[in-house]
Chains A and B, each alone.
Chain A
Amino acid sequence: MNLEDKTSALEPDKTSSTESVSPPKLASFFQEQPLQAMEVAPQPMRRWTRRDLLFFGMGAIAAVAAGGSLLPQTTLKRLGIIHGNQNWPKKEVSESSPAHR
């Protein structure tokens, strides 16, 4: 695994740097690593892309739902997400007029 390779490749540098810190090693530590190109089978690639997009969509829906539940009722009414005549969960309050702006 490349990520593990990266970290394992860095470890000897760290230990050696305690003894002598040479500028080239320090520079290479800060130097951007090249993007790793690779060949991947199209079938699993498509499957994982679909799965990631699905997760992303579910996350977006969850964020909207969580945001909607946290926003105050007056804000939601002003945005038109809920209407003024909806009084859930307080059923007994019924005669309130729509307060649009």
Chain B
Amino acid sequence: MTCYTHLGEVIATRMPEKQSGVRVVRRHYLLVRCSHWLNVPILLGLILSGLSIYWASPVYKHKPDPLTGNIDPLADVGIWICAHVPGLHHYSSPPDWIYNDISLGPGMLAVALRLHWLCAYLFMLNGLVFVIGSAMGGGWRSLLPHRTDLRDALKMFRYYLGVPLAKLTRRSWLHPRFNTKYNALQRVAYFSVPVAGLLSVLTGWAIHKPMQLYWLAAILGGYDKARIWHFWLMWVFVLFVVPHVILVLADGWDTLRSMIVGWSTRSRDRRTFHNES
């Protein structure tokens, strides 16, 4: 993969005067790119196996259903989906619909726990790679929140909300200006994801070793509260990933490519004044 050194070599070998070069900016350090893409299968594995573990012992429970004896709200969601979505009326086990489709499956606690811990160790290792990569490339600075981030994030949010309407009505919809690598909304999101990752690891350890790490479980409000934290932190990742992928695809090939090759043909000046819609 391209490292910054390669780009340095390219610059070092000066081009002939007549040959026009490509103007690029370095965006992502090699280790950060590796860490980013490794997160995709790891997080997928964590979520799929995590929901299988959840099936065995749901964090949230309600009174047993008089007909089915079901206590799991997620199973209720599956029942509702099978009752209302065309083509699923004859599904053999509606309470398991969620677990059959977005987990390893029901009744697989042992396998799910093994896979969850494998992915968890890889996740922690990957987090370390990210920290080293951010430190080496200096990218951690671009993730630090600014004082004006809340106001600017609202501006960006307003911009993103208005883009579809502007496209439909063919009106110009100017991108808010920013002079940093990421806009305020990206910064809030990209800063909160490593924090959520760290909290996921801490809550995971508190659940895994509640006796040995009783102090950690106590900090998190006890074993049951740690499970609730862990469950909702998964949703933080899901809620981050969905708009993240949509916005990257909407932003164009350059953004996606920059996370693979490390450089972008969009210089900051262009980003400041260019309407990305």
Contact = CB atoms under 8 A, between A and B. Distances in A.
Interface string A22-51: 000000001111111111111011001101
Contacts of A55: 1
A22 B21 CA distance: 42
B257 A44 contact: no
B27 A35 contact: yes
Contact of B23 (A30, A37, A49, A67): A37
On chain B, which size bracket covers the interface?
Answer: 35 or more
A93 interface: no
A3 interface: yes
A52 interface: yes
A53 B37 CA distance: 13
Given A1-B8, A72-B108, A32 B22 contact: no
A2 interface: yes
A41 B10 contact: yes
Interface in B4-38: 4-8, 10-11, 13, 15, 19-27, 37
Given A1-B5, A2-B4, A74-B108, A41 B15 contact: yes
B100 A59 contact: no
B39 to A, nearest CB: 11
Contacts of A38: 7, 11, 23-26
Contacts of B24: 37-38, 40, 45
Interface stretch (B57-65, B133-141, B162-170): B133-141
A67 B27 CA distance: 29
Interface in B133-154: 136-138, 141-142, 144
Contact of A67 (B13, B41, B93, B263): B41
A41 B93 contact: no
A66 B118 CA distance: 12
Q: Which 7 A-B pairs have the closest CB atoms?
A: A39-B21, A35-B25, A52-B261, A1-B8, A63-B41, A32-B141, A40-B10
Given A3-B136, A37-B267, 17 more contacts: A3-B137, A6-B138, A30-B144, A33-B141, A37-B23, A38-B26, A39-B22, A40-B24, A41-B22, A48-B261, A63-B40, A70-B45, A71-B104, A72-B104, A78-B105, A101-B91, A101-B100
Interface of A: 1-3, 6, 30-42, 44-45, 48-49, 51-53, 55-56, 59, 63, 66-67, 70-72, 74-75, 78, 101
